[in-house]
Amino acid sequence: MEINDLLAPECARCVTPELSKKRALELISELAAECCPELPQHELFESLMAREKMGSTGFGKGIALPHGRLSRLTKPMAVMLKCDTPIDFDAIDEQPVDLLFALFVPEEEHQQYLAVLAKVAEKLSQKELVRALRRTEDNQQLFELVSQ
């Protein structure tokens, strides 16, 4: 499964206002609910918060991979945020986060979930890509960069 199979263009956003961790997760949930109207925003948000309670999904170098599993979801979907102002995200390296790639997967898809998460983490470990993502201020370009 490729990233452009998960991420719709309207779910990639460059965000200029300063956000808290909670507000960033709420925004991710709002965007996901717009792309998948059969899932209420509060369920999406609760799935992200439940995962964050187990430990931060900020994996370092300014990147976070918040993720949640939902029983009513039929296929994986994603939301990408690039924040102008980095967020205190309790990341493992204690650095603030400015790139968030959120993933929602069907609850029963354990293997697919791990494979997709690994693919996204590998992609976001590419230094040139991360630099380009941080430079962009355009939603469409953000989508194109992360999905190529």
Domain boundaries, the chain: 3-147
pTM of the model: 0.93
Q: Catalytic residue at 67?
A: yes
At 16, list the tokens.
């200029």
What's the rounded Cα separation, in Å, for the pair 69 and 46? 10
Q: Which CATH number fits domain 3-147: 3.10.560.10, 3.10.20.90, 3.40.50.450, 3.40.930.10?
A: 3.40.930.10
Per-residue pLDDT tens for 24-62?
999 999 999 998 888 899 999 999 999 999 999 998 999
What radius of gyration, in Å, describes the C-alpha atoms of the chain?
Answer: 14
Strand 77-87 relative to strand 58-60: parallel, antiparallel, unpaired? unpaired
Catalytic residue, chosen from 67, 82, 102, 130, is 67
Strand blocks (E) in the chain: 7-15, 58-60, 63-64, 67-70, 77-87, 97-106
Per-residue pLDDT tens for 63-85?
999 999 898 888 889 999 999 99
